[in-house]
Structure 1
Amino acid sequence: MRLIFTVLLLATISCAASRTSALKPVEIKVVIINMFEVGADSGDAPGEYQYWVEREHLDTVIPFPAGYHDLRLNEKNGILGVLTGVGTARTAATIMALGLDPRFDLTHAYFLVAGIGGIDPRMGSLGSAVWSDYIVDGDLAHEIDAREIPKDWSTGYVPLGKSTPYEQPRTARFGDDGNIYHLNTSLVDWAFALTKDTSLPDTPAIAARRRQYAEEAAHRPPFVLRGDNLSASTFWHGKLLSQWARDWVKYQTDGHGTYAICGMEDTGTMQSLTWLAHADRIDINRVLVLRTASNFDQQRPGITAAESLGETKVRQYSAYLPALDSAYRVGHLVVDNLVANWSQTRDHIPAGTGPVK
């Protein structure tokens, strides 16, 4: 009888161990965060997700009912792709759901946001790739219609908790939570050094378009640069709002940041990642944001902002396909280096210049 009991006990322990093993979270090395896709994940007209799915072999589809879209995984390399949906609300909800998903161990994971955006022609050209140190929110504010602003105001946007544009002192009772995110500069240094000489796709069409702008930086063939990111769910456009973006980023970062490119979701991503870090689910020092220029953020000489906005639609952007390609060409160098050197990068964040060796 004792022998039978022992056998049953051992079998029970074995079954429990098997269940525990089956439920062991998958260790993820890199999470690639994209925001939109046009159609299917592969094989048709691409959005931000498709090149990553196809070229990084994210072949395993994982149901993700708590998020915007099913996840995709490269099981061999530990690379996870997540599609968040457009706008800060969808993105924040999707990233929070991912961070709390018990199927994944994200405690050592690196996070790469790879998307397209509108670039300031003072900073760069179509198809260029921008690594950012600061992610600044452009939604949290008071606003007065431009037709009603006082004559001595440069904008109708007023910082939350303030009474006039760019009122000092900058910090208010709301603090900086949600307004500003400062990424790990040492990691951004490393990513930029690794990718700064990457050859980016150029075309006769985008070469002709950039010549229509007066700014010197706009005339350059696509290149990799450093510059800061203004994230706002409102798709704004035009020279006056571009100047607002420059001023807003300077103000919110106490003069340390320089606006270069805009996106729509990145403060949503950063908010969720920040709170997940507070819960010890992820390491906030392992986050990178890369945006590539699908269009300029303002009109070219000779047309109005409204006319330029009318030309600015998804898949009709001046450099839509080159920008998607640039995001992968630049971003995958970082992803592949992190994965190839996982014995070091798992526990030690890259810093300084050049690839991990």
Structure 2
Amino acid sequence: MLKKITVALLTLGLLACNAEHKATAPVAKKETPLPVKVVVVTMFEIGEDSGDTAGEFQLWNERRKLDQVLPFHGHHDLHYNPESQILGMVTGIGTAKSAASVMALGMDPRFDLSKAYWLVAGISGFDPADASIGSAAWADYVVDGDLAHEIDPREIPEDWPFGYFARDSKGPMDKRPEPSGEVFALNKSLSDWAYGLTKDMKLQDFPGMEPVRALYTETPAAQREPFVLKGDNLAAMTYWHGDLMNDWANRWVDYWTDGEGQFVSSAMEDTGTYQSLLWLSKTGRADVQRLMVLRTASNYTTPPPGMTAVENLLKDNEGYPGLQASLESAYSVGSVVIDELLANWDSYKDAIPRSIN
């Protein structure tokens, strides 16, 4: 009996101690999410984030002083400037990585992205019929180049221009079915506003680009010094090249945008970025209407006269002729828009800027 009483008293004592401990234990403080005004979305970096050969991220990291490095369970750690509240990310190359990275960031409780503007600032191939290397294009549409049916060109009917055609259709350029991820329309008023701020900029013309431009004797736009334009993006996981593929790209963008869009830039990621932001918008964690896509020309999507598609593609693999210029254009053009947003944040926080045209 004495043993039972002793055990009971000890139990009551422990319970009392636990209760007292719980009453006096400090309550964990809930951290306030970091406010973000602009997310700069880049897709790759070549080596280190600073001090070596630059990829898409490095100029932003160095010049915007994104010195606070935040571990991220994605392709690349995040970089943040607490004063400007700019957040820089590197998604990784390809639609799958961009979609996953943007979704992971959007669901990260460390950040308040509800008012953030998203600027995709990346390099790409440009159609020489529209612009020159080093040029920068603001997009109204991003079109997916992967969701489709395909027949090998050696087996297509003789009257088909190519073997690629929309799902739920009967052949190339057949009546367009209802889109289900093949095309996304950006906020045109916002892209027009961004274009209006930057359209008269003089972009840096790097040594060595003029001889490359001069090869494109049949496309005057390709021979111009770099400039800012409006033009839409085709995102496809396959790195394609050549006149025939370029013809397909122009027709594919025209087809999916009902003639409203114009193919200019070829890249791999932007439909994935848009798709994640679209779904994040439904949760209130982000706003896809605040997405801007700026692509700059590191190379052309077709070879110059007298060179085959294979020859030019392999030459591009040795180094893009406009890489340095395209990186500089992405930073300089994108920065004009970011600086305007930051300088007038009280206005733009709650009201998305609109074109005055």
What's the TM-score once normalised by structure 2's chain length?
Answer: 0.91
- In structure 1, the residue matched to 2:5 is none
- In structure 2, the residue matched to 1:60 is 68
- In structure 1, the residue matched to 2:41 is 33
- In structure 2, the residue matched to 1:47 is 55
Find the residue that maps to 2:196 and give its secondary structure: helix
- In structure 2, the residue matched to 1:115 is 122
Q: Deviation at 1:10?
A: 10
Q: Check whether the contact 1:127–1:202 (CA below 8 A) recurs between aligned residues.
A: yes
Q: Check whether the contact 1:273–1:284 (CA below 8 A) recurs between aligned residues.
A: yes
Runs of 4+ in structure 1 over 6 Å off: 8-12
Q: Deviation at 1:9?
A: 10
> For 2:315 and 2:63, how far apart are their aligned partners in 1?
30
Percentage identity across aligned positions?
Answer: 51
Candidates 163, 166, 187, aligned match of 2:170: 163
* Runs of 5+ unmatched residues, structure 1: 1-7
1:338 aligns with 2:329: no
Find the residue that maps to 1:276 and give its secondary structure: helix
- In structure 1, the residue matched to 2:325 is 322
Amino acid corresponding to residue 182 of structure 2 in structure 1: N
Q: Give the alignment of 1:153-232 within 5 angstroms.
A: 153-168=160-175, 170-171=176-177, 175-213=178-216, 214-232=218-236
Q: Check whether the contact 1:194–1:353 (CA below 8 A) recurs between aligned residues.
A: no
Q: Deviation at 1:353?
A: 4.2
Q: Check whether the contact 1:198–1:329 (CA below 8 A) recurs between aligned residues.
A: no
Rg larger for? 2
> For 1:190 and 1:11, how far apart are their aligned partners in 2?
56
- In structure 2, the residue matched to 1:133 is 140
Q: Deviation at 1:11?
A: 7.3
Find the residue that maps to 2:317 and give its secondary structure: coil
CA deviation profile, 1:219-258 (whole Å, cap 9, x unmatched): 1100000011101010000011001000000000111111
Greater alpha carbon shift after TM alignment, 278-287 vs 325-334? 278-287
> For 2:181 and 2:54, how far apart are their aligned partners in 1?
31
Amino acid corresponding to residue 209 of structure 1 in structure 2: V
CA deviation profile, 1:54-109 (whole Å, cap 9, x unmatched): 011111000002x1110000111110001000000111111000000000011000
> For 2:168 and 2:253, how far apart are their aligned partners in 1?
17
Q: Deviation at 1:204?
A: 3.8
- In structure 2, the residue matched to 1:253 is 257
> For 2:226 and 2:194, how far apart are their aligned partners in 1?
17
Amino acid corresponding to residue 168 of structure 2 in structure 1: G
Find the residue that maps to 1:312 and give its secondary structure: helix
CA deviation profile, 1:307-351 (whole Å, cap 9, x unmatched): 11101127x101010100000000011112111211111111111
CA deviation profile, 1:164-214 (whole Å, cap 9, x unmatched): 01110x12xxx4232111111111111001111122111342111111111
> For 1:148 and 1:55, how far apart are their aligned partners in 2?
52
- In structure 2, the residue matched to 1:19 is 29
- In structure 2, the residue matched to 1:81 is 88
Q: Deviation at 1:147?
A: 1.7
Find the residue that maps to 1:80 and give its secondary structure: strand
> For 1:9 and 1:143, how far apart are their aligned partners in 2?
65
Q: Aligned residue pairs: how many?
A: 337
What's the TM-score once normalised by structure 1's chain length?
Answer: 0.91
RMSD of aligned residue pairs (Cα, Å): 1.7
> For 1:185 and 1:325, how far apart are their aligned partners in 2?
25
Amino acid corresponding to residue 322 of structure 2 in structure 1: A
Greater alpha carbon shift after TM alignment, 291-300 vs 138-147? 138-147
Find the residue that maps to 2:115 and give its secondary structure: coil
> For 1:10 and 1:119, how far apart are their aligned partners in 2?
65
> For 2:120 and 2:249, how far apart are their aligned partners in 1?
21
> For 2:113 and 2:258, how far apart are their aligned partners in 1?
32
